[in-house]
Amino acid sequence: MQTYRIAPSILSADFARLGDEVRSVIRAGADFIHFDVMDNHYVPNLTIGPAVAQAIKPWCRRDDGSAVPLDVHLMVEPVDALAQSFAQAGADIVSFHPEASRHVDRTLQLIRDAGCKAGLVFNPASSLEVLDYVLDKVDLVLIMSVNPGFGGQSFIAEALHKVARVRQRLDAYHARSGRAVLLEVDGGIKTDNIAQVAAAGADTFVAGSAIFGQRDYKAVIDAMRAQLAALPA
């Protein structure tokens, strides 16, 4: 049985009530809290930094006390110093765009040395080639299905082909190494396209506006899970 994870992006949450929003979306069934960091340099927008990650970290728990991973998506350049700051702030996963780091292998290593899982993020027009060289140091691959910088954009369908190609590579890698790497997709995911993204091979789904744009977060997450459950095994 395939395990799917839903990662609400708090980029579309009410920033004036961020702790409450995190708690609500966890009660609604979030598996990860996706945290979008934009620097007005690598992407044309400015969001939240390590201090905010540290402030919401205590809220990243279910009512039974179990932890919900804080999934930090860095859209920043350079990467290394901020990656370390987010690790100290309580990030569980730190992902970055390979174009934004001079030394991708070193950045992956320093994220792991800081005790986090490390992710590589691929823009719609970015090649996957770097994966051939660093997969042993990657815990998560994140495929962008929009150009990074804003919530609420439309899903770029070409991303489905890329997801399928990454799925093949990760399956082959799992067969030879025994190591499972997560395959996350980010941008424009809604109840009506999540099944297609899963069918292409994704196991983890970021959704910002689709969830926080509705009053009833649980209704949206339940509807997404129902779509996933209806997929052929």
CB of 211 to ligand DX5, least distance (A): 8
Instruction: Please write down the long-range contacts of 163-172, taking CB distance under 8 Å and 24 or more positions apart.
Output: 163/197, 163/200, 163/201, 163/202, 164/200, 164/201, 165/128, 166/128, 166/131, 166/141, 166/201, 167/200, 167/201, 167/202, 168/201, 169/128, 169/131, 169/135, 170/141, 170/201
CB of 152 to Zn ion, least distance (A): 12
The type of residue at 191 is T
Active site residue 36: yes
Cβ nearer to ligand DX5, comparing 146 with 220: 146
Cβ nearer to Zn ion, comparing 6 with 177: 6
| Nearby residues of 192 by Cβ (< 8 Å), 6 or more positions away | 227
Binding of Zn ion by 92 (CB under 5 A): no
CB of 37 to ligand DX5, least distance (A): 9
Catalytic residue selected from 39, 139, 186, 203 = 186
Binding to ligand DX5 (CB under 6 A) within 46-85 occurs at 73
Binding of ligand DX5 by 151 (CB under 6 A): yes
CB of 36 to Zn ion, least distance (A): 4
Given a contact cutoff of 8 angstroms between Cβ atoms, the answer to whether 223 and 28 are in contact is no
Q: Which residues pair with 40 in a beta bridge?
A: none
Q: Which of 36, 39, 92, 203 binds Zn ion (CB under 5 A)?
A: 36
Is the CA virtual torsion 168, 173, 176, 181 positive or negative?
negative
Q: Which of 36, 71, 92, 184 binds ligand DX5 (CB under 6 A)?
A: 36
Residues that bind ligand DX5 (CB under 6 A): 9, 11-12, 34, 36, 73, 146, 148-149, 151-153, 186-189, 206-210
